[in-house]
Amino acid sequence: MAEYDNLADIYESWSAADPAADLTLQFYVSISHGIRGSVVELGVGTGRIAVEIAARYGRSVIGIDLSEVMLTECRARARARGIEHLIQLTKADIREFWLPEPAELIIMPFRTFGHLLSVDDKLAALRQIYSQLAPGGVFVFDHYVFNENWARNHNGVPRLMCTIHDRSTGNKEFVWDTYRYDFAAQLMECIVTVEVAEADGTILRRQHRPLSFSWVEPDQVRSWAQEIGYEVRKLYGSFDKQPFNLSSTEQIWVLGRASH
């Protein structure tokens, strides 16, 4: 079972609590304008970005994800927008996926790269993505810039991410994130805790849903990209395309395959 199978029911509210959620949506929709052929999204999830690209431009989007539950949510979203015919979904590992034809644009939004936990996993995915790009095509992904001071201060400290109101029962769901870091290995375990409470605050039940994650440093990405043969077209430090610098909180990579 994929880790996100256990998160699909809260994903929309949980992810919307992240300040980068709307910014990533706007960024990836904008860079998909004018693309010939299908846009490919790796880690398509519930289709928050893929469905918007398809609806905005009337173009085909290929979505790949390891969670069948998330893909089911994506199909429902596309159906609700009347564009199910534009969304082609495949359950696959992004280290091993294959496309019907080379892609002009492959995207991996919203820090999905961090779900590749080891260096070997990351290199395998980067090589496979490169192999699926058309000559001149680009691969775009984002990741945060890891803040070790923040991480050490919040290591093991629960944070309330969002509150979900169930109108049918009057109950509330409190969604908490607790991060535990392995700094040497660049790994973190996120425990997503969902508390279901009555209107008066009485906790009815509590469930812990684990999620594994990793982080990368910009120098690592640059080294791996060059090793594989990518051209680093752009490195942005924000979703409004400001150049990356030492004060940037995001690293947004535009990696290209040579046109010859």
Give the confidence band of 40 by pLDDT, cuts at 50, 70, 90. Answer: very high
**pLDDT above 80: residue 9:** yes
User: pTM of the full predicted structure?
Assistant: 0.97
Sorted by where each starts, the structural domains of the chain and their CATH numbers stand as: 3-146+215-256 (3.40.50.150), 148-214 (2.20.25)
Per-residue confidence (pLDDT) for residue 1, from 0 to 100: 61
Q: For residues 239-251, b (16+ Cβ closer than 10 Å) or e, as one string? A: beeeebeeebebb
Interstrand relation of 87-91 and 61-65 (parallel, antiparallel or unpaired): parallel
| Cβ atoms 113, 122 nearer than 8 A | yes
User: What one-character DSSP code corresponds to residue 20?
Assistant: H
Q: What tens digit of pLDDT does each residue of 74-118 get?
A: 999 999 999 999 999 999 999 999 999 999 999 999 999 999 999
In this structure, is the dihedral angle defined by the CA atoms of residues 67, 140, 134 and 124, taken in order, positive or negative? negative
Q: What tens digit of pLDDT does each residue of 167-197 get?
A: 888 899 999 999 999 999 999 999 999 999 9
**pLDDT above 90: residue 30:** yes
Side-by-side strand order, sheet with 172-182: 159-165, 172-182, 187-197, 203-214
Per residue, what are the HEC states of 167-232?
CCCCCEEEEEEEEEEECCCCEEEEEEEEEEECCCCCEEEEEEEEEEEECCCHHHHHHHHHHHCCEE
